[in-house]
Amino acid sequence: MAAGGLEKLLVANSSDIFPRQRKTTLPGGYMGRILRVDLNSGSMKDENLPEEPMLRKFIGGQALATYILLRELPLDAKPYGPENKVVMMTGPITGTGFTPGGTKVTAVYLSPLTNHTLGRGAASGFWAVYLKAAGYDGIIVEGAAPKPTYLYINEGRAELRDASSAWGKGATETEDRLRAEVGIKDAKVMCIGPAGENLVHAAMLCNDYNHNAAHSGGAVFGSKKLKAIVVHGTARPPLYDRARLIEAGLRWRKTLMVRHEAEKRTAGHAVDLGAAPNFNFRSTVIEESHIEGFDKNRVTLRPCFQCQRLCPWDVELKSGNHSGTVGHFNAGSEWLDTFYNLGVRGNDALYLAQRINDLGIECSHFSCGVGVAFEAWEKGLLNAEKTGGLKFEWGNVEVIDRLLDMAARREGYWGNLLAEGPVEVAEAIGGDAPKWVVHTKKGTPALHDWRPHFGQMIREIVASGGMKPQGGGSVNPPPDLKYREKWGPLDRNDPAGWSWSNALSEQYRQFCGLIGGCWFAQMHMKPDGLNSMIDSFNATTGWNFDIDQALEAGHRSAMLQSIFGTQRGWIAEHDWKDVGARFLEPVPDGKHKGFTIAKWLPELVYEYHRLMGRHEKTGRPFMDTLKKLGLEEFQEWAQLD
């Protein structure tokens, strides 16, 4: 056969990514294999990790996963079609045990929320560590199973099993059941709740009780009738230089801003942001009632695998109507703001937060939808006739509780509408309601009131042409980059510097994820915060990245994310045009009253894309950018003029 012909064939089906036999040495930190699961036929296959040069380019996590997806996903794939794929990747520092934050797995797929951008869910906890212990760096899920199924990987052996006993169950119960079913206490479970099964567009992947990977991975799992992936094993990643890794990991640890139990008794991230969303983002004030009962609750920190930042925590409610409820949370606290936004306060908010996580609905999606509906009720656009007798009143815990179940099961008119999303809710209500929605490209931002904050707002609206941002202009730029960066004022009243700050932080946050690290444990604002992470990565793999190469790897990952969108119709103009009006309204009250970044749009968005090497309006990468990042193979999607 002519060599040329063969080559073409290989490129077309991407098998040139995965060598049949490795020719280059596998760097440290990797297990060396990816499991490919075809749910249509039930067949499974081990793929070798790419050769060293490709691995060095994409490393792991989101970049490697997205690259695989870009190469394998047909352009006409539908999010819920069996042709959609979920590619899940860890990174080399996942599971070494010697660094903080070595816990990450990132899943990518075509997003059912937007239908045209990259969906990305990233999870911490323990699951990713045990996936590697089972012998795999990642998983590619293809096709769709005929009936509820779960994937069980134990010590390098994978099998598909019947999931009917767990179908319909919440995430916590599913985890317990499947762990019992495989009979291994140490096994770790990533699963979907009823929301995923019923294709609620924003359904999450849930793992290790406290962890949720948002942004619709759960819905794609559901469309494939894949209830869970259970992993267990005893292997550990080989390390290039263990002693150096231990030393670098300890340095990294010193940069952490350790969280405390006391923080878990506050209104969470809203306190840091100086604003809580209330009544569908119409007030930002935080009152005593927000945290009523929190002081009496039993709170236990429940850290991720070998990470000392102490984000996740458990709570047992000690007062209120749901006293005795146990909740499992991570640090983000968007689930708290989710219910503050609906007028719920104190322990009731924690109760509902546990419910929504267990059902597996991305909390912001629900909150932004219900928020509009409640506002419509308040303003007389809805009445009991239209709501099936449910009183859409702020703070009505019973009604919200009921709506949660309805949404997760797409039950009735409202359940179905809420499962679709806030934009659909607003359109169905009509009148002025579409002006009250908070959304970005039809997805929803992690539910906090980001509006008073420059960097975070840019991050949320651009998100590199996707829905899930990484990074976010910080007012504390990394000291490790001081030697070469000029920051500009980073002042609330001055747009200068913010776009660059976002572009840069996106790059190092991306890098952190690619190597298998959790960007919550990535403390750029402290000296040595970036260097200790890069050194940990080098000691693990045996590569020798400097800070510029690390940033470039992050940049490449962000670029793959936008190329995926470009291929499917995303343009940069969507970033500021396809945003819910409420999200761009001036802050209604409080410390930051009147502030909005809207007055600097679209220039901020344009500037951000220019700085990232994309065309400001189309969002396509320039040829120079592709060359710099070694992505010439995607030149077909480049901006040519």
Partner 1 sequence: MNEKYGNLIPTGQLLDGKPRTILFDAIKCIGCRQCVHACKDWNDHPRTTVFEISSSNWITMEPPVLEGLSPLWARNSCMHCEYPMCAAVCPVEAITKYEEGPVVIDPNVCIGCEYCIYACPWGVISKDDLTHKASKCTMCSDRMSEDKSPFCVQACPVGALDFGLQEEVSAKARTRAQEVGGYVYGEKEAGGTQVLYVLKEKKESYGIRSVGPQKYPKHKISLPLMLKDLFTLRCGLQGKVRALYLAIIHPRRLLYRYWPWRQVV
What does the block give as tokens for 213? 């990977």
Cβ distance to partner 1 smaller for residue 12 or 243: 243
Q: Are 83 and 91 in contact (CB under 8 A)?
A: no
Site for partner 1 in 132-171 (CB under 8 A): 133
Question: Residue 77 or 184: which CB sits closer to partner 1?
Answer: 184
- Say which residues have a Cβ less than 8 Å from residue 308's Cβ, sequence separation at least 6: 100, 253, 256, 258
Shortest separation between residue 338's beta carbon and partner 1, angstroms: 23
Cα 629 from Cα 3, distance rounded (Å):
28
Nearest-approach distance from CB 298 to partner 1, in angstroms: 7
Number of residues that this document lists for the chain: 641
If the CB atoms of residues 29 and 95 are measured against partner 1, the closer one turns out to be: 95
Binding of residue 129 to partner 1 (CB under 8 A): yes
> Which range touches partner 1 (CB under 8 A), out of 89-97, 262-270, 444-452, 616-624?
89-97
Cβ atoms 553, 59 nearer than 8 A = yes
Contact call for residues 221 and 199 (beta carbons, < 8 A): no
Nearer to partner 1, 7 or 186 (CB): 186
Residues 465 and 117: beta-carbon distance below 8 Å: yes
- Beta-carbon neighbour count of residue 324 at 10 Å? 8
* Single residue of 28, 119, 233, 293 touching partner 1 by CB under 8 A: 233
C-alpha 153/C-alpha 533 separation (Å) is 30
| 95: contact with partner 1 by CB under 8 A | yes
Binding part of the chain for partner 1, among 15-23, 127-135, 268-276, 395-403 by CB under 8 A, reads 127-135
- Sequence-distant (6+) residues with CB within 8 A of 147 are 162, 164, 225
In the bound state with partner 1, the residue whose beta carbon lies nearer, of 142 and 314, is 314
Q: What are phi and psi of 110, to 5 degrees?
A: -75, 125
The least distance separating partner 1 from the CB of residue 133, rounded to whole angstroms, comes to 4
Shortest distance (Å) from residue 126 CB to partner 1 = 8
CB of 98 to partner 1, least distance (A): 6
Distance in Å, CB of 446 to partner 1, minimum: 24
Judged by CB under 8 A, which stretch of 93-101, 520-528, 552-560, 598-606 contacts partner 1?
93-101
Q: Are 211 and 127 in contact (CB under 8 A)?
A: yes
Total number of residues binding partner 1 (CB under 8 A)?
29
Q: Using the minimum distance from each CB to partner 1, give the nearer residue, 329 or 608.
A: 329
The residue (of 227 and 232) whose beta carbon lies closer to partner 1 is 232
* By the rule CB under 8 A, 632 interacts with partner 1: no
Residue 469 phi, psi (nearest 5): -85, 160
Which residue among 18, 80, 98, 487 contacts partner 1 (CB under 8 A)?
98
Residue ranges in 235-274 that form contacts with partner 1 under rule CB under 8 A: 235-236, 250, 258
Instruction: Considering only residues 299 through 328, tell me which ones interact with partner 1, judged by CB under 8 A.
Output: 300-303, 305-308, 310, 314
Structure tokens, 132? 């590697």
- Of the candidate residues 120, 211, 232, 509, the single one contacting partner 1 (CB under 8 A): 232
472: left (phi > 0), else alpha (psi -120 to 50), else beta?
A: left
| Of 10 and 257, CB closest to partner 1 | 257
Nearer to partner 1 by Cβ, of 312 and 554: the residue is 312
542 in Cβ contact with 28 (< 8 Å)? yes
Quote the least distance from Cβ 235 to partner 1, whole Å. 7
Q: Which of 298, 482, 577, 599 binds partner 1 (CB under 8 A)?
A: 298
Q: Which is nearer to partner 1, 33 or 448 (CB)?
A: 33
Q: Which is nearer to partner 1, 234 or 635 (CB)?
A: 234
Q: Is 418 helix (H, G, I), strand (E, B) or coil?
A: helix
Nearer to partner 1, 132 or 614 (CB): 132
Upper half-sphere CA count for residue 97 (Cβ side, 13 Å): 10
Q: Min. distance of Cβ 300 from partner 1 in angstroms?
A: 5
Calpha distance 310→292 (Å, rounded): 23
Task: Return the residues of window 177-216 that contact partner 1 according to CB under 8 A.
Answer: 184-186, 209
Q: Output the smallest distance, CB 97 to partner 1, in A.
A: 4
Pattern 337-376, partner 1, x by CB under 8 A: ----------------------------------------
Q: Terminus-to-terminus CA distance in the chain, angstroms? A: 40
Q: Which has the closest alpha carbon to 100: 511, 469, 523?
A: 523
Window contacting partner 1 (CB under 8 A); options: 90-98, 103-111, 269-277, 389-397:
90-98
Give the bridge partners for 361, in sequence order: 203
Q: State how far the alpha carbon of 119 is from the alpha carbons of 139, 201, 425, in Å.
A: 16, 11, 22
Interface region with partner 1, contact rule CB under 8 A, candidates 190-198, 295-303, 480-488, 620-628: 295-303
Considering only the stretches 296-304, 455-463, 502-510, 601-609, report the one whose residues sit in contact with partner 1 under the rule CB under 8 A: 296-304
- Residue 69 half-sphere exposure toward CB, CA atoms < 13 A: 38
User: Min. distance of Cβ 257 from partner 1 in angstroms?
Assistant: 13
Which residue from 13, 24, 43, 234 is in contact with partner 1, where contact means CB under 8 A?
234
**Both tokens assigned to 404:** 């949660």
Q: Sheet harboring 138-142: ordered strands across?
A: 43-48, 33-38, 138-142, 86-89, 105-110, 118-123
Torsion of CA 481, 482, 485, 491, to 10 degrees: 110
The number of angstroms, rounded, from the C-alpha of 404 to the middle of its chain's C-alpha atoms is: 21
> Is the CB of 96 or the CB of 283 nearer to partner 1?
96
Kindly give the pairing relationship between strand 313-316 and strand 326-329.
Answer: antiparallel
- Cβ proximity to partner 1, 111 vs 154, nearer residue: 154
User: For the CA atoms of the chain, what is the radius of gyration?
Assistant: 23
- Nearest approach in angstroms of CB 207 to partner 1 is 13
Secondary structure element (H or E) that encloses residue 86, with its range: strand 86-89
Q: For partner 1, which is the closer residue by CB, 129 or 370? A: 129
Residues that bind partner 1 (CB under 8 A): 95-98, 129-130, 133, 184-186, 209, 232-236, 250, 258, 298, 300-303, 305-308, 310, 314
